[in-house]
A and B are shown apart, each in its own frame.
Chain A
Amino acid sequence: MRKFIFKRLISLVPILLGISIITFALLQLVPVDPAEVYLRLSQIPPTEEAIAVTRAELGLNDPLHQQYIQWVKNVFSLDFGKSFVTRNPVLEELLYYFPATIQLTLTSLVLVIIISIPMAILSALYKDTIVDNIGRCFAFLGASMPSFWVGLLLMYVFSLKFDLLPVAGRGSIKHLILPSFTLALGSVATYTRLLRTTLLENFKENYVLYGRTRGLKEGFILLRHVFKNAILPVITAFGMSMGYMLAGSVIVENVFAWPGVGRYIISAIFNRDYPVIQCYVLIMAVIFVLLNLLVDILYGILDPRIRIGGDE
């Protein structure tokens, strides 16, 4: 097990190197000059002299490979450079905004768990009844509505019309409700359907029939046997989904003025703030790899049959 984890962590190195080269190269393909964007943000007419001065200031005049090598060198000492726009150290800024995003993502995950598991179980138990159909409707709607629209709609209904919740911002638990629900909605839809399907498949297995012949109660069979088997593929998807949620919070954060890293990154993209984009992509890559690893480990804990390395 340890060997496995170690191997996976080692594999991070080439992945990160590859990703950093690709982002570096892709950013250079963007036709808009960050120096020009900076001048525009500053309300300065982008004359050629002004652009030249700004490019020199931002260190954009060195040849590309030199810029990259310098960047990698700095990264080893955890120096990701300074933001073109705010002129503050990038890592410091990202770490400042990360807690809000993690808070939002974790709340959404909890919401996904407490909504989708019972809904899936009910849908599976009462297959093709009104309960199942309501679940199905909800799932289709949830999966197909874009989150900025859902967000504004919820805001309109719950904040404006019924005056129950604040419109935007961060502060109390009340502020957390709408954004986390908006972020959770898409995943709730997906997991409800996924879990329902795997539950139904498992109901057809022989061990269920065997359990029934032993006179076990349906509920007991469901929770004790079927659910445990059915949850495995869901956990895989869930691990990835955590990463997607972290990354996907961009839109929700923007709509609800949630001061998280997503909002920070979206303005960085608009402003061609290369150091911020590069640092963010690297951090997200590390998170994705680690989440995958975590899922694999969890798998082993939940199901001894596929335990890796056979060290138990």
Chain B
Amino acid sequence: MRKAKWHVLFICLAVSASILLAGCGSNNQPVAQEQGEATTQEKILTISWGQDMGELNPHMYSPNQMFAQDMVYESLVRYGEDGEIQPKLAEDWEISPDGKEYTFKLRKDVKFSDGSSFNAAIAKKNFDVVLSNAERHNWLELINQIEATEVVEEYTLKLVFKNPYYPALQELALIRPLRFLGEAGFPDNGNTAEGIKQAIGTGPWVFSEEVKGEYAVFTKNEHYWGAEPKVDKIVIKIIPDAETRAMAFEKKEIDLIYGSGLISLDSFKQFRDSGKYKTDISNPLATRFLAINSNKGATKELEVRRAIQHAFDKQTFIDAVFYGTEKKADTLFASNFPYCDLGLEAYDYNLEKASLLLEEAGWKKGEGKEFREKNGQLLEMEFNFDSDDAIQKSIGEVLQGDLKKAGIKLNLVGEETASYAQRQKDGNFNLIYESNWGAPYDPHSFVSSMRTPAHADYQAQIGLPMKSEIDAKITEVLLSTNEEERQELYAYILETLHEQAVYLPISYRSNIAVHHDYVSGVVFFGTQYEMPLANIDL
């Protein structure tokens, strides 16, 4: 009898052991990867990402991953590295003189991955289904501006706009929501917002296999119209942890790390300094900066705002915190953005200049005092930031030390995300951390939002004497149809903001690339989520 009881325990153990082995038996490695080396000469590039790809619906957002949507679907036009609009599925286009009609000549040699051809009819079908769900996309001005779509000829598509809207081409280059799904991918009721049948696109890759939580496989699109990708397959391993990803890379389980935030800056520095790997940093993709409130406390004064610009030793900060992985920013938008190459003079790091400006404005330092005063009032201000973000916190700490040298007292106020966001909305800050949207949304989207009262930018600018003029010029620039006029308007807006020193630019965010030396063809594209996968060879 007693023995029987022990048997129960042993049986339990045996059962659990067999479950384990059964679990192990199911081989979950990407099939291609294991056969690859032994049987064929298939070239397989392995990268990694933190999440699953999603169903890859071209017209929807999360959980669809943008870089993967970009692998499968293509846009009418492309946003080039220098911000220039280039042909893609549309080989040419014409804009009517009033700026309200765009006529696109589509390429005739484009086929979807299922072999069906791409033409104006299917393009219109895609536009129309996105427009029928307009409220989901109302963040994108383009969608609000399109009035009608029209098939002119088999390969000619016309878009009619409610108003002239110059950034239309830039926004047509976006990864979502205006890319094209093949007919067979549409659900029975036709509404892609509720899901798609299959990810069928015109891009160089086909989403061919997925084991959720483990990996996704993309294979070459046999019908691709453009240059044939150099590798046959791309395996994307799902690895959520950045340190694990770095080790997997070192062990050559991953060939390439490309993007931003995928590995820690420490790992990047280590890879770069080891000399064993190839590392690179892209052109600026977006800017980190602080907005300085022209409507609150000491920062109401132009001299104080300018003094802050001169007192912050950005380069030292960037070297210490970003290990030089980000480039120093002197203007709100980097000069590689459209209309932004204005040759504005940077506010250099110059403590003397800062002190001089403050002296002139009447902020004097008393004997043995640490901070300046005027009419008995201390030169004091607040920096508001999201306490969960380590980078914002270190900006605050370094800035506090730098401003102290100029006799300015900076109080650091770190709060959780929601409170920090609330301050942005109601303008309750002196200095606040921000980041703009980056290519291809800038400069027009960010500038456009400066007119919205619930934005930190509007709040920071209301103290400026010429705020109403700035807003008027922004409205004008978005409706302008003349290239030269547009450049002039942007020049006015950006120069004024620069001279008024309402922004303290810090650094430009970039993509990083780290790869083994057997990987070639790694280049950077103009936007954050486009990966140069079709160029890469092994």
Q: What residues make up the interface of A, taking CB atoms closer than 8 Å to B?
A: 31-33, 38-39, 41-45, 47-50, 53, 85-87, 96-97, 99-100, 102-103, 106-107, 109-110, 113, 152, 155-156, 159-160, 163, 166-173, 176, 254-257, 259-260, 263-264, 266-267, 301-302
CB-CB < 8 A to A171: which residues of B? 27-29
Bound-state Cα–Cα, A169 to B48, Å: 11
For B138, give its contact among A50, A102, A166, A173 (CB under 8 Å).
A50
CB-CB < 8 A to B479: which residues of A? none
5 of the cross-chain contacts (CB-CB < 8 Å) are A45-B437, A96-B212, A168-B248, A169-B214, A169-B237
Most buried by B among A48, A49, A259: A259
B430-466 interface code vs A (CB 8 A; 1 in, 0 out): 0000000100000001000100101000000000000
Known: A86-B52, A99-B23, A256-B244. 18 other contacts (CB 8 A): A43-B66, A45-B437, A50-B139, A97-B213, A109-B16, A110-B16, A155-B244, A156-B247, A159-B247, A160-B247, A168-B253, A171-B29, A172-B24, A176-B20, A176-B24, A259-B238, A260-B213, A267-B51
Chain B proximity of A63: nearest CB distance (Å): 21
Q: Is B391 an interface residue (CB 8 A)?
A: no
Chain A proximity of B442: nearest CB distance (Å): 12
CB-CB < 8 A to B418: which residues of A? 31-33
A53-B136, A99-B23 are known contacts. Are A167 and B253 too (CB-CB below 8 A)? yes
CB-CB < 8 A to B19: which residues of A? 102-103, 106
CB-CB < 8 A to A97: which residues of B? 213
Nearest residue in A to B5 (C-beta to C-beta)?
A301
Bound-state Cα–Cα, A113 to B9, Å: 12
For A257, give its contact among B62, B139, B244, B452 (CB under 8 Å).
B244
Bound-state Cα–Cα, A97 to B248, Å: 22
Q: Is A110 a contact of B138 with CB atoms below 8 Å? A: no
Nearest residue in A to B193 (C-beta to C-beta)?
A57
A97-B213, A169-B214 are known contacts. Are A110 and B20 too (CB-CB below 8 A)? yes
Residues of B160-218 at the interface with A, using a CB-CB cut-off of 8 Å, are 211-215
Q: Is A159 a contact of B251 with CB atoms below 8 Å? A: yes
Bound-state Cα–Cα, A107 to B13, Å: 10
Nearest residue in A to B24 (C-beta to C-beta)?
A173
A32-B418, A43-B61, A99-B23 are known contacts. Are A259 and B213 too (CB-CB below 8 A)? yes
CB-CB < 8 A to A302: which residues of B? 5
A45-B139, A45-B449, A170-B214 are known contacts. Are A263 and B240 too (CB-CB below 8 A)? yes
Bound-state Cα–Cα, A44 to B23, Å: 40
Bound-state Cα–Cα, A131 to B454, Å: 68
Q: Is A31 a contact of B416 with CB atoms below 8 Å? A: yes
Nearest residue in A to B175 (C-beta to C-beta)?
A43
User: Which 7 residue pairs across A and B have the least CB separation, nearest first?
Assistant: A259-B213, A42-B61, A103-B23, A41-B62, A257-B239, A31-B418, A42-B62
Bound-state Cα–Cα, A90 to B464, Å: 51
Bound-state Cα–Cα, A186 to B71, Å: 43
CB-CB < 8 A to B24: which residues of A? 103, 172-173, 176
Number of residue pairs across A and B with beta carbons under 8 Å?
Answer: 130
B115-135 interface code vs A (CB 8 A; 1 in, 0 out): 000000000000000000001
Q: What residues make up the interface of B, taking CB atoms closer than 8 Å to A?
A: 5, 8, 13, 16-17, 19-20, 23-24, 27-29, 51-52, 54, 61-63, 66, 135-136, 138-139, 211-215, 237-241, 243-244, 247-248, 250-251, 253, 416-419, 437, 445, 449, 452, 454
For A47, give its contact among B139, B214, B253 (CB under 8 Å).
B139
Bound-state Cα–Cα, A159 to B417, Å: 38
Chain B proximity of A154: nearest CB distance (Å): 11
Bound-state Cα–Cα, A49 to B138, Å: 8
For A53, give its contact among B135, B211, B247, B248 (CB under 8 Å).
B135
Bound-state Cα–Cα, A162 to B146, Å: 60
Bound-state Cα–Cα, A176 to B23, Å: 10
A31-B416, A32-B418, A170-B28 are known contacts. Are A106 and B16 too (CB-CB below 8 A)? yes
Q: Is A257 a contact of B241 with CB atoms below 8 Å? A: yes
Bound-state Cα–Cα, A254 to B31, Å: 24
Q: Is A160 a contact of B214 with CB atoms below 8 Å? A: no
Bound-state Cα–Cα, A59 to B37, Å: 50
Bound-state Cα–Cα, A217 to B27, Å: 48
Most buried by B among A43, A173, A256: A43
CB-CB < 8 A to A168: which residues of B? 237, 239, 244, 247-248, 253
CB-CB < 8 A to B139: which residues of A? 39, 44-45, 47, 49-50
CB-CB < 8 A to B237: which residues of A? 168-169, 257
Bound-state Cα–Cα, A117 to B417, Å: 48
Q: Is A107 a contact of B20 with CB atoms below 8 Å? A: yes
Bound-state Cα–Cα, A259 to B17, Å: 20
Bound-state Cα–Cα, A14 to B343, Å: 70
Q: Is B253 a contact of A166 with CB atoms below 8 Å? A: yes
Chain B proximity of A195: nearest CB distance (Å): 15
Q: Is A48 a contact of B454 with CB atoms below 8 Å? A: yes
Bound-state Cα–Cα, A294 to B51, Å: 36
Most buried by A among B16, B213, B241: B213
Q: Is A53 a contact of B212 with CB atoms below 8 Å? A: no
Chain B proximity of A252: nearest CB distance (Å): 11
Q: Is B17 a contact of A110 with CB atoms below 8 Å? A: yes
CB-CB < 8 A to B247: which residues of A? 152, 155-156, 159-160, 167-168
CB-CB < 8 A to A266: which residues of B? 240
Chain B proximity of A232: nearest CB distance (Å): 13
For B417, give its contact among A32, A160, A255 (CB under 8 Å).
A32
Chain B proximity of A245: nearest CB distance (Å): 13
CB-CB < 8 A to B417: which residues of A? 31-32
CB-CB < 8 A to B135: which residues of A? 49, 53
Q: Is B244 a contact of A86 with CB atoms below 8 Å? A: no
Most buried by B among A39, A45, A109, A302: A45
